[in-house]
Structure 1
Amino acid sequence: MKKSKYYTIYKSFIAFSLVPCLGILLFTTPVIHYAALANPTITSKTLFFIKGILVALVLWSINFLLIKSNTLNIKFSKIDITLFQVIIYQICNRYLFHTNYSFSIRFLDLIALGGFYIILRNIPKKSYILLFFGVIGAGITQAIYGNLQLLGYYASNHSGFKLTGSFFNPGPYAGFLAAVFPVALGLYLFKDTLLNLVSSKANLVYISVKLALKFIPIIGVISILLVIPATQSRGAWLALIVSSGLLFECKYKTVSKFIKRTTTIKKTVVAFATILILWGGLFSIYQFKRGSSDGRLFIWKVSTDIVKDYPVFGVGFDKFKAHYMNYQASYFRVNGETQEAFVADNSYYGFNEFIQFLVENGIVGLLLLLLVFYQILKVFIKIKHLKLVVLATLLSIAVFAFFSYPMEILPIKLVILILLAALASFDSNKFNVHIKSTKLNAILKPVMAIGVLMVVITGFKYTKALEQSIKTWKLALESYQYGDYETAIQEYQQAYPFLKNNGEFLMNYGKALSVNNQDREAVKVLEQAKAHLNTTIIETALGDTYKNLKRYDKAEDAYKNAANMIPSRFYPLYLLAKLYDESGQIENALAMANTILEKEIKVPSTAIKEIKQEMKDIITKNELFN
């Protein structure tokens, strides 16, 4: 009897600890920031999330093992199938369709999110309301954090912005708030209907959820509205307006009632006025940060050239940053220094997730993604307001995705996955697979236990090694900043085996080698970096190393590539003029010096004045000797 009693208690503990574990993971992941890591606002969240998923996987598998049944009942939705297809395609696109894949935090996110989704699909349906509270709680926490940054109590994570939350700049921060806001507003507006997510009306859980629905969502709505204007993220503002408009219309039917009761003439006038207001609003948003808007338009324009060259499978998973700057340089090489040069910069993202997805995954990947969207719209669930909240939130994220990069932000992806898992779980047209066998407990469960154990052990070992490498990378960055290049290089060498396919790491490592005059080693590392990432930093560092090695043709090519990437910058042209001068190419040196002197200045600075003075000195010197 004692054994049976303890077994029941243990089983109940495991079963009821899984959902709180997931809730804590949702609530905590966005705020994680471990300063000892390189790129802490990104890497901290991913490493923490992977560890949390491994723990949740153990709890889920133990719960499965404790079920005393000879029948395994698997239910899956068409959403599950299409998501699985997209994940498998992206894995194949990374390893099979392309070579020389890069180290990718996004890929680690993809694998961990896959495990997260499987666990979500195996929790009780009534648990989703608690997870929604976890999402709103994370949003409230971020809103408070942001307000404290504005008030000066906490420092931001970017020297150029006062408000970042626990993210690396205001854009991702605003995007996360825009993802949480429709969840909070939807739960508040439709709280009476959404109480049906909790089946029983007589227990403490139902009473607690009913009370929570009165306060938590509205606190989330107010707290986000207080801070979102300060982010100055036009994409997030637009996302909030669109998703809120949908939710309010579905709740109060204002537009529908107006259309039914109003004459045709009034409808025409109102429609025309609405179009003018929308056009004026969009134009104002465009003008608010016109340079930023034009920069995004230019990135989209250049990205279409990549699609033309890689139409079917794209350039590969998370390889946008490896190709984009080369195409930008090619554009200016062909077209010259157009007005677009003043908005061009080093770009790691497409600032439009749909365009970037097409660039990386091609038409095949885009068709699979559209199939997911189709199944989302087509799915039927009995609690219609749940689907409405999900659609409004996905719409908000989609609007933001047109102008930013939410798929780089793990907390936003967590929100998306919860929504999709909820839709799939409440889908009324799921497929059912029954596996009935007396050997289920004797064979399948032990095999599963061994498999999960291997995954967990391997996962923790990998995560520990990765975390240590990223810590070492951070130490190397600090040593470099202090001018201790020898120590920095030693630390880069320690982290190299694990991060040898990380473009940003290789860029930092190669730059340290170049500054320390280890030119042959620097060339190898920087050329390797270009396969995974290319920027003006890499090209100018390559130019410096090739110049030191007296390989002037290679140095010239590197400096020219850097100059073509961002034509408005003076520094690559300055390096090119110095190269010509030092290598005795007098005519080229004079021509480049005059080009720099005549060049239009984008942002005046002391450095540009010094560069122009040095160009005058080069001209004077060479004219005296000739």
Structure 2
Amino acid sequence: MLLAIVISGTIQAVYGNLQLLGYFPSNHSGFKLTGGFFNPGPYAGFLVSVFPIALGLYLFKEEVVNRLQFDMENKRFLHVNTFIKYAVEYIPLIGIISIILVIPATQSRASWLALTISSSLLLVLRYEILKKLFNHLSKLKKVVLVTTVILIIGVSLLGVYHFKKGSSDGRLFIWKVSTKMINDNPLFGVGFDRFKAHYMDYQANYFAINGETQEALVADNTYYAFNEFIQFVVENGVIGVFLFISVLYVIIKFSSAKENNYLSTILKTSLLSIGVFAFFSYPVQILPIKLIIVVLLAALSKLGQNKIKPFINFKIGTRIKLTLKAFVIGGVLTTTIFSFKYIYKLNTGFKNWQLALNSYQYSDYESAIQEYEAAYPELKNNGEFLMNYGKALSIYKQDKKAIQILEKAKTHLNTTIIETTLGDAYKNIKQYNEAEIAYKHAANMIPSRFYPPYLLAKLYDESGQKEKALVMAKTILEKEVKIPSTAIKEIQQEMKHVITKNKLFN
């Protein structure tokens, strides 16, 4: 299983290298390198989830080979054993080289840290570097060595922070807002997978109270906390964290048999690598990484010597055993059948969603809405789907239905797109107060953006609220431009027209 994970990582690494060389396109218009993922972040996270496994298998290859090989004295297994030997030696080595070649190009600082820490730890544990080093050093030299290492780490972290300072500041701001969410929901959190449904409301509230601070320059629509530990506390509260730590402690604390210590080291270091990456990203939201975590935890639990074996002292009759087996088999078959049906329907829903997006891009809104309606039963709890659906309805002037869909979307996800579209829909049916609330909320979510205030100014102008229109128009003209664009120039020009029209232009 671990070799299979390494092979998958190697394939992704090679794929990424080929993208860099121009042989394959990436999956994101803004990045040349994404592997099989949608942007370089999750791609880098997957690679550093695999890397410690590859490095660990290579460093402990002798132990792995001895564990996997068949009876050495039996000549029938000679070729099989030879294959195992070369597979264990070269598959991880190829994985190590291919991942090291592509990781720098991802520009993912979290992955660099995870790879450095996990690799260093594996090397130290394998060759007992610290033990050998400290045995030959005086106290003074030990202090100097530790101090030097701490300084190097500190300078490195500072360099990593400044490498993409805007991105770093953005994460720090998200964590700052998230602490308010934790303060408001300390025990049970906001609910599992509910971070993206609540975060932008808290961000909007922050700017509504504090105004357009410097933090507004790094604020954006946010789906994740970019720190899995903070997000877990936000969603599940202190009680959820306690339960999670308890389960994790039990799994990791199980001591493995001495001959399996090397495997335990590989598994725990791999989890550590994912954990380091999780401090600055969202690996648990990425299915392939999530599967690796499950495999690692399952393997660790299997290594435990002190497993709990329920019913060990109970004797069960043959008839009861057969009955239990029948129930289990029946349950598994039933679950499998229903699962396949559900997956088939879900897959159909996603296909319809994609067709709807294609139709939307070609401005065929009627066809898009039909596809959205077909996908709705399967994707009615997907916030992003509902956002797209509501947007199409609003553009096609089905405003009342758009409002219904978008309000439902807000229970799963909230963004400036949802709020501005809600504002458009309310404005179209002349519910100006509700439109104003939606536009203001969108403007507070990301104060540096021009579009929500522009829509608000247009609302005031079209609804005859001239004074508010003038104030908003002047505010937009005085607004600092974060990234110059043609759209912003057009907005500014239109705001000048609003002021001129009301004969108050200076």
Both structures adopt the same fold (TM-score exceeding 0.5): yes
Q: Structure 1 residue aligned with 2:106, among 231, 251, 257? A: 231
1:151 is matched with 21
2:42 is matched with 172
1:454 is matched with 334
Structure 2 residue 4 is matched with structure 1 residue 134:
yes
Is 2:496–2:505's contact at 8 Å kept on the other side of the alignment?
no
Is 1:175–1:412's contact at 8 Å kept on the other side of the alignment?
yes
Once the two structures are superposed, the pairs formed by residues 89-238 of structure 1 within 5 Å of their partners are 131-198=1-68, 200-202=70-72, 203=77, 205-238=80-113
Identical residues among aligned pairs (%) = 61
Distance 2:261 2:400 in 1: 64
1:308 is matched with 183
Is 1:502–1:529's contact at 8 Å kept on the other side of the alignment?
yes
Once the two structures are superposed, the pairs formed by residues 366-377 of structure 1 within 5 Å of their partners are 366-377=241-252
Higher relative contact order (CA 8 A, sep 6+): 1
Change (3 A) 1:624 1:337: closer
Distance 2:265 2:247 in 1: 17
Q: 3-state SS of the aligned residue for 2:384?
A: helix
Once the two structures are superposed, the pairs formed by residues 444-483 of structure 1 within 5 Å of their partners are 444-483=324-363
Q: Give how far 1:541 is off.
A: 0.3
2:283 is matched with 406
Is 1:201–1:207's contact at 8 Å kept on the other side of the alignment?
no
2:201 is matched with 326
Once the two structures are superposed, the pairs formed by residues 428-443 of structure 1 within 5 Å of their partners are 428-432=305-309, 433-434=311-312, 435-440=315-320, 442-443=322-323
Give 1:180's aligned amino acid.
V
Is 1:543–1:554's contact at 8 Å kept on the other side of the alignment?
yes
Q: Give how far 1:270 is off.
A: 2.1
2:235 is matched with 360
Distance 1:274 1:321 in 2: 39
Change (3 A) 1:199 1:421: farther
Distance 1:346 1:442 in 2: 55
Q: Structure 2 residue aligned with 1:562, among 424, 442, 460? A: 442
Distance 2:14 2:69 in 1: 33
Q: Give how far 1:341 is off.
A: 0.3
Q: Structure 1 residue aligned with 2:116, among 236, 241, 263? A: 241
Is 1:381–1:428's contact at 8 Å kept on the other side of the alignment?
yes
2:159 is matched with 284
Give 2:33's aligned amino acid.
L
Distance 1:327 1:392 in 2: 36
Distance 2:320 2:15 in 1: 50
Question: Runs of 5+ in structure 2 lacking a partner?
Answer: none
Give 1:162's aligned amino acid.
K
Q: Give how far 1:184 is off.
A: 0.5
Q: Give how far 1:431 is off.
A: 2.2
User: Paired residues, what number?
Assistant: 496
Distance 1:224 1:554 in 2: 52
Listed one character per residue, the Cα deviations across residues 570-626 of structure 1 (whole Å, up to 9, x for unaligned) are 000001111111111111111111111111111111111111111111111101699
1:59 is matched with none
Q: Give how far 1:173 is off.
A: 0.4
Structure 2 residue 469 is matched with structure 1 residue 594:
no
Give 1:558's aligned amino acid.
A
Q: 3-state SS of the aligned residue for 2:503?
A: helix
Q: 3-state SS of the aligned residue for 2:318?
A: coil
Q: Give how far 1:335 is off.
A: 0.6
Is 1:511–1:522's contact at 8 Å kept on the other side of the alignment?
yes
Give 2:103's aligned amino acid.
I
Is 1:590–1:618's contact at 8 Å kept on the other side of the alignment?
yes
Structure 2 residue 142 is matched with structure 1 residue 267:
yes
Q: 3-state SS of the aligned residue for 1:602?
A: coil
Question: Runs of 5+ in structure 1 lacking a partner?
Answer: 1-130
